[in-house]
Structure 1
Amino acid sequence: MKLFEIVKPGIQTTIQDHGRFGYRANGVPISGPMDRFAYTMLNDLLGNKPSSAVLEVWLGGIELTCLSDCEIAITGAKVNIHFDGAIQEMWKVIRVKAGQMVKLGQAEEGIIAYLGIRGELEVEKWLGSASVYSKGRMGRPFKKGDFIEGLPTSGTNQELIQLKRPVYSQKLTIEIWPSVHRFLFKNENFEGTYKLKSGDRMGYLFEGPPIEFHSSGDILSEAVEPGTIQVNNKGQLIVLMADAQTTGGYATLGKIVETDLWKVVQLRPGGEILLRDRQK
């Protein structure tokens, strides 16, 4: 059943589910949602399976025409939601009627929002997952004129109380598990502030006090995963994200704890992180 037609796809809108597990040995990333907290809360609000597919929307700006009555919810980055011009609330289930126009404004706090439909989306899967991984030719971002199809269901209205809704700060103190590569570093100035310069679903580049090596930061390639913090040859930090490669040859500083990674995901360029070892 066709539920929505894409009028404006925004900067980048893709389908993401829980992720693609069991193929890292073959060089295939996990993918899945960048912000697992917002994704998990979305499916919980809708009463869907924890692994259900949703839309991941970067920076807002998406417009949809509803083709069939259904119930939706939107979580993640703060965006203004309009149904035919009427403002709606995030973090709660909303009923949409056929013919209505749904618009998400530009992200005001955070950068990634999630839109889900109560029920199941009808989506193509690659290696058991619907998560789009464009670099691996597993799907693509939505384009104008695409349709979102699914099997909608109905249920009781749910919402996340205000006290539990996240506030996406641009200054974070992040806990990390220290890496075994610390002996390669001449100094450990990583406790200074690092600012986000740029990033995508593969990784975020942070710039700050350069970390110096005794000789080189190159290592034999070893396994990495989302949340791993690599130190490049300029002594700057790369935080690996959902579409991260499975191995890397840069020395690593550590790994961001799972409960903090989604906060880093929602940083905007210029956002700052201060790192603290979990074991101290």
Structure 2
Amino acid sequence: MAFEIDEPGLSTTVQDRGRLGYYNVGIPQGGSMDQLSAEMANAVVGNTAEEAVLECTYLGPRFRTTDSAVVAITGAPVDVKVNGESREQWTRLELSAGDELSFGFLTAGTRFYIAVRGGIDVPVVLGSRSTYTLGSLGGFKGRKLQAGDVLHVGPGTAAGNQGLDGIGAEQRPTFAREQSIRVVRGLYDHRLTEAGMETLLSATWTLTPVADRTGLRYSGPVIEWRPREQPFGAGSDPSNIVDAGYAVGSIQIPGGKEPIALHRDAVSGGGYAMVATVISADMDLLARSAPGTKTRFRVVTIEDALAARADYRAACSKLWGSIL
């Protein structure tokens, strides 16, 4: 079976768990921005966690199925319609051949996910079906969907049953307008004055509309940098360094204002100081932020970050354990 795309939405791409192991040559991990929401969609339709889904940003697609299909929509709250009739998120939807699936506007967050039993069938490139649009790599022809595209559905790898009946309200991610994001201090935190670091960690930052798969930019107070004579090879901006590798989740502050938190499709290195890093367990939370979200950065220890990662992985394992 296949999905015939009538309207592509603002930015709809094929994503999965990501393309790990190539960051050292400049290819980011990519994958679903909100990994937990994407995995929940796969769990509901009876896929494994590895199957590719559609990631829909702000405005979703409109498409028809060529055959019967089982789908689920998770992530940011959005109006779901089958043949013009309202349906629910977070549960299985049974579609017949020729049915039209469409969406209204988001009421919170930025992205929602569409899983189909069998998974979206696109070629595996460097171990992943994820789309990296900046590199025209993976996904459907290396780009976001367009009207007239036909997406085929694969046989998938059976999870062993029909999947979850749905995701209960108490298990669903939240899409709050105020967030506390945990960070560890970065490799170049010493480039900030004590007052500068205090500003970063005590201010309430507002997410700007400049937020995509590469990174999220925040507005707020000016952050103070330590004065120095810039070394050979660094630029004149006080936040410039001689090029270094970027950890996923790194926070940069070009010009001393508007911190940028790098996300799934971020470049792997460059010339801006990384003063803090969002912990891996909070990357999904960061991805759920809509422009205008008020954000506080809260510093934790490496031990705290590792414990949070273990808790996140345990939650994912519990999700899949409940359907096996």
Provide TM-score, normalisation by structure 2.
0.82
Q: TM-score, normalised by structure 1?
A: 0.94
Query: Distance between the aligned counterparts of 1:137 and 1:152, measured in 2?
Result: 25
Answer yes or no: is the 8 Å Cα contact 1:60–1:79 preserved in 2.
no
Q: After TM superposition, where is structure 1 displaced by more than 6 Å over at least 4 residues in a row?
A: none
How far off its partner does 1:55 sit? Answer: 0.4
1:41 deviation in Å? 1.5
**Secondary structure in 2 matching 1:242:** coil
Q: How does 1:1-280 map to 2 (within 5 A)?
A: 1=1, 3-138=2-137, 139-151=142-154, 155=162, 158-186=165-193, 187-188=196-197, 189-190=199-200, 191-197=202-208, 198-215=210-227, 216-279=238-301
Letter in 2 for 1:140: R
| Alignment check: 8 A CA contact 2:14 2:120 kept | no
Q: Distance in 2 between matches of 1:167 and 1:17?
A: 21
The code of the aligned residue for 1:214 comes to R
CA RMSD of aligned residues (A): 1.7
The structure whose residues are more often strand, as a share, is: 1
The one-letter amino acid of 1:264's match is L
CA distance in 2, matches of 1:95, 1:195: 40
CA distance in structure 2 between the aligned counterparts of 1:208 and 1:156, rounded to whole angstroms = 44
- Report how many aligned residue pairs link the two structures: 279
Amino acid across the alignment from 2:213: R
In structure 2, what residue type is equivalent to 1:213? W
Richer in helix (by share)? 2
Q: CA deviation at 1:45?
A: 2.0
Can you list the C-alpha shifts for 1:193-248, whole angstroms capped at 9, x where unaligned? 11111111111111111111112222222222332111212332001011000113
Counterpart CA distance in 2 for 1:80 and 1:199 is 23
Equivalent-residue separation in structure 1 for 2:155 and 2:103 (angstroms): 21
Moved more, 249-258 or 238-247: 249-258
Letter in 1 for 2:187: V
Check whether the contact 2:46–2:163 (CA below 8 A) recurs between aligned residues: no
Deviates more, 1:156-165 or 1:64-73: 156-165
**Sequence identity (%):** 30
